[in-house]
Amino acid sequence: MKTVAVIPCYNVGALCRPVIEETRKYVQGIIAVDDGSTDDTAVHLSEAGVKALTHVRNSGKGVALITAFEFLLTSSEYRDYDTVLTIDGDGQHNPNETQRLLDAYAAHPDSIVVGTREVDRPDIGFRHRWGNIISRYFISKACGQYIPDTQSGFRVFSREALFAIKPQLKPGRYETETAFLILAARAGYKIFPVAISTIYTEETESVSSFNPYLDTYLVFKVVARSILFGK
């Protein structure tokens, strides 16, 4: 198993450095996407020595992921990488839990492994807690299987799965990750959860580009289209 990590970054500054350094212990390659950052994210990516792809302007997390996916599938440099890890660049995932996701994937290679947070904890903010509960219900319905954390971007899947899903994957913001799960489920992949740490700090929250109104609307637009029209 040869794994490449895909790390989308937007105005995360120095937060991306420990993510990269720790993730590097578990994978054989890293592709980071600077999604039009206006801070010093580009400097940190350069100093970290990763393969960095750059958007001239901010285009959204989903666009950043698709940029990396297209590069991964078409570049001869990554032709022999058979496994893909996605992890956020802002420190909301603990990269030292990567091996647990990789082990789960090795045991369930026909699955999309999703790092699953304890999203119902009462100490988690109201917006996050209820947003996850509501989206979990509808996205699970669209997928035809229960998914305990539909919003986690900490995932492992095969190159083969990516090759099958990507042609139908539309670029966007956070709704692209939702569409990925729905398309994977329709293609016959089991969404396999692995418990991970729940990390919400003032620092990671301050750099989050998630818009609770716009992104919730876009996510539910994808879900509604899937449930009502099968698209």
What is the reported pLDDT for 151?
83
DSSP string, 155-193: EEEEHHHHHHHGGGPPP-STHHHHHHHHHHHHTT-EEEE
CA dist 160 and 155 (Å) reads 15
What is the reported pLDDT for 42?
95
Residue range of the domain that includes 17: 3-229
What is the reported pLDDT for 128?
58
What is the reported pLDDT for 180?
93
What is the reported pLDDT for 118?
72
- Per the structure, how many domains does the chain have? 1
Question: What CATH number is attached to the domain comprising 210?
Answer: 3.90.550.10
Phi, psi of 178 (to 5 degrees): -65, -45
Cα–Cα separations (whole angstroms), residue 174 to 8, 29, 182: 12, 24, 13
3-class SS at 115? strand
What is the reported pLDDT for 228?
47
CA dist 231 and 213 (Å) reads 23
What is the reported pLDDT for 135?
77
pTM of the predicted protein model: 0.85
For the chain, residues with pLDDT lower than 70 are: 119-133, 173, 199-231
Going by DSSP bridges, is the β-strand pair 83-86/155-158 parallel, antiparallel, or unpaired? antiparallel
